[in-house]
A = this chain, B = another copy of it.
Amino acid sequence: MKPGSEPKGIKVKKSQDLSEWYTDVLVKAELADYAPIRGFMVIRPHAYSLWENIQSYFNEILKKRGVKNAYFPFLIPDSFFKKEAEHAKGFAPELAYVQDAEEGEKLALRPTSETIIYDSYSKWIRSHRDLPMKLNQWCNVIRWEVKQTKPFLRTREFLWQEGHCVFASEEEADEDMRTMILEYQAMARELLALPTLVGRKSKAETFPGALRTMTIEALMPDGKALQCGTSHNLGQGFAKSFNISYKGEDEKDHYTWQTSWGFSTRLIGAIAMIHGDDKGLVLPPRVAGNKIVIVPILFEDTEEKVMKKAKELHTRLASCNPILDDRPDYSAGWKFNEWELKGIPIRVEIGPKDLEKKQVTLVRRDTGKKESVSEKDVGKRIAKLLDEIQQELYEKAEKFLKSHIDSASSIKELKEKLQEKKIVKVYMTETPEVEEKIKAATNGATSRLIEVVGKEGTCIETGKKVKTIAYFAKAY
């Protein structure tokens, strides 16, 4: 079989079976591949380039915010987890350990680094002059998931950043928590064309060991929410258990206030699931590694001239990091499919007719819209189109999100609205017990975030009057 004839299309429609569509796209678009160990994955270059662009964007934010990158050990003494009781309880089921380490203590593979980092902070922080201390690390973490895993969305190993900041006061910690979750939301919007809801987590969903957690949540096409990043005000719990204190200007010792915040390679899954279509991936231009692909249309008699022009364009459009697909063994049609599958935002076709008319043909990946543009204007036109694509992808996703937020005033109604793939607002008494009951009644929906409103309403579970609205959805 010639390579030009190998079928490489997606097996099912996105609307038919999102889960199968998703994994099929990931593998065929070469974002990910299965690993030989259950729950693990290979992040292929096409996906890793997205992660690099996310890193590069976020490193600028870190710099602006005075946060420095560092690296802490991958292995954590088990006793560290035990110091902060809530934290220990939350992570215990997911910890994996090194076998027979001779140190006399069990060593855990890091699932998150609060404890190992705060051990260092307790040595480094002495005076109010050492505050604030703001560090971040980019690393791999291991969480021995028992739930069903799914590439990018839930895996036993993933890559992430975790920021860990120390402040003198609760107000500063609260401000940092808010600032960073808003930075996450802005990044999702600006870079990934991903609209999210931002808010506080309920007590039941708060990070183990934290005082308050804020989250950004995206809504997937199947009505499941995807937590895309969280930011925690850790209060003084870790400061007290790891003895992080500073001598204030008042010459007295005070415990610090701390935050931590993180997002992960899960974002790559969100991009694929939100923007993709039946032909494969659709990458938002700003996060795409290659913004355009140049495909020369080759016939024997004009091949040389067309290739020369294609190479010229490749050089001229270098700022778009273009792919020049000049592989001789593959048909143009096969190449079109390949790059559509991989989601390259714009295809630039150049054939003998284009050459005659001193033009090129541009094809948008998101809409399939085709246009001719004169050679001399091509750079400007592409820049404009890329902006338009970015904008329209966001608007489309935002419209979907907004049209899928609804509210309910009873458990029955909540269940109906969840069936309609919506994220549903309900009045709820904010206790883990009440939330657990609603979860059981809805076959697993959880509160994704909490809003405190002025107007009282009736809790759908207890019937009590409350001012707390919870957004319910099933979640990845």
Contacts and interface: CB of A to CB of B under 8 A. Distances in A.
A405 interface: no
A94 to B, nearest CB: 13
A149 interface: no
A7 interface: no
A33 B129 contact: no
A73 interface: yes
A127 interface: yes
A97 B98 contact: yes
A205 B45 CA distance: 32
A133 B291 CA distance: 22
B96 A101 contact: yes
A81 to B, nearest CB: 13
Nearest to A328: B129
A119 interface: yes
Given A3-B127, A98-B98, A99-B98, A48 B71 contact: yes
A411 to B, nearest CB: 37
A43 B74 CA distance: 12
Given A3-B129, A99-B99, A140-B139, A43 B68 contact: no
Most interface-central of A3, A69, A127 (chain B CB within 10 A): A69
Contact of A74 (B100, B119, B135, B142): B142
Interface string A70-85: 1111110100100000
Given A98-B98, A101-B96, A129-B3, A73 B109 contact: no
Contacts of A140: 71, 74, 139-140
Contact of A69 (B45, B99, B107, B129): B45
Interface stretch (A34-42, A355-363, A430-438, A443-451): A34-42
A52 interface: yes
Contacts of A412: none
A324 to B, nearest CB: 13
A251 to B, nearest CB: 13
A406 interface: no
Interface size class of A (residues with CB under 8 A): 35 or more
Contact of A329 (B74, B77, B129): B129
Contact of A99 (B37, B77, B96, B123): B96
A159 interface: yes
A172 interface: no
A95 to B, nearest CB: 10
A49 interface: yes
B45 A68 contact: yes
Interface string A454-469: 0000000000000000
12 contacts: A36-B116, A37-B73, A40-B73, A48-B68, A48-B70, A71-B159, A74-B142, A96-B98, A97-B98, A98-B98, A99-B100, A129-B329
Nearest first, the 10 A-B pairs at minimum CB distance are A45-B68, A43-B71, A99-B99, A40-B73, A97-B99, A35-B73, A45-B70, A48-B70, A48-B69, A96-B98
Given A36-B116, A42-B71, 15 more contacts: A33-B124, A35-B72, A43-B70, A43-B72, A44-B70, A45-B69, A48-B70, A48-B71, A71-B140, A71-B159, A74-B157, A75-B142, A97-B100, A129-B327, A129-B329
